[in-house]
Amino acid sequence: MGDKTDVWQGTLALMVLRTLETMGAMHGYGLARRIEQTSGDLLQLNYGTLYPALLKLEQEGYIHSHWGLSDNNRKAKFYELTKAGHQRVKKATAEWEQTTAILARFLTPAEEA
């Protein structure tokens, strides 16, 4: 477990939204696996924390859910981005890029100084 990273506070929501944006409607388990795969199996997701995060996003109106059937005919709850969700992804992505850019300036070794 040592080389796997826990999910940082607050980033899970963005990962969920971004994954739903690229993949379309997904159920909770699929989402969890997809997030792990996207991270190159570097992230260790505690699946139990995913559901409260999904509930919060749904309460905030960024996603909505409906029951359906999975690929192998299991009953599952599918999540999908709403219009507000799409906007949120755009905005959050921009914010995140800015934050990392700023941090990168601090963390990369100073060359010109």
Partner 1 sequence: MRTLRALWSRFMGMFWPGSAESDLADEIESHVALHTDDGIRAGLSAEEARRRALIRLGGVEQTRQTYRERRGLPWLETLGQDVAYGFRVLRKSPGFALTTIFTLALGIGANTALFSIVNGVLLNPLPYPRSSELVTVHASKANFDQGSISYPNFRDWQRDNKTLAALAVAHQRRFTLTGVGDAERLQGDYVSSDFFPILGVKPVLGRLFAPGEDEIGRAPLIVIGAGFWARKLGSRQDVVGKTLTLDGRQFTIIGVLPGDFDLTVGNFEAGEVYVPIGQWQNTALNDRFAGLGLHGIARLRPGVTLEQAQADMNGVSDRLAAAFPQADHGVRAKLVSLRQSVVGRVQPLLLVLLGAVGFVLLIACVNVANLLLARSNARTQEFAIRWALGAGRGRIVRQLLTESTLLALAGGALGLLLAGWGTDAALKFAPLALPRDSQVHLSIPVLGFTLIVSLAVGILFGLLPAWKVAHQSVQDTLKEGGRGVSGTRHRKQDLLVVFEMALALVLLAGAGLTIRSMMVLSGVDPGFDAHGVTRFSLSAPPSMGSASAGAVRAYYREVDRRMKQVPGVQGVSIIGGSLPMTDNDDEALFWLENEPKPTNTNDMHWSLDYIAEPDYLKVMGIPLLRGRFFTEADNEHAPSVVVVDESFAHKFFGDEDPIGKRIHMDGNMATVIGVTGHVMQWGLDNDASSPLHVEMYLPFLQLGDSDLSLKDGLGMDVAIRSEVDSATTMKGIEHAMRQMNQEQVVYGADTMNQIIARTLAGRRFSMILLGLFAALALLLASIGMYGVISYLVGQRTQEIGIRMALGAARGNVLRWVLKRGCKLALLGVSVGLAAALALTQVMARSSMIYGVRAYDPWTFFGVTALLVTVALLACSIPAWRAMRIDPMQALRAE
Residues between 22 and 81 with contacts to partner 1, criterion CB under 8 A: 27-30, 33, 46-49, 51-52, 55-56, 59-61, 70, 72, 74-77
Nearer to partner 1, 49 or 98 (CB): 49
Using rule CB under 8 A, residue 92 touches partner 1 = no
Nearer to partner 1, 28 or 89 (CB): 28
What is the closest distance, in whole angstroms, from the C-beta atom of residue 54 to partner 1 in the complex? Answer: 9
Using rule CB under 8 A, residue 4 touches partner 1 = no
Using rule CB under 8 A, residue 6 touches partner 1 = no
DSSP string, 18-85: HHHHHH-SEEHHHHHHHHHHHTTT-EE--HHHHHHHHHHHHHTTSEEEEEEE-TTS-EEEEEEE-HHH
Using rule CB under 8 A, residue 87 touches partner 1 = no
DSSP string, 77-93: EEEEE-HHHHHHHHHHH
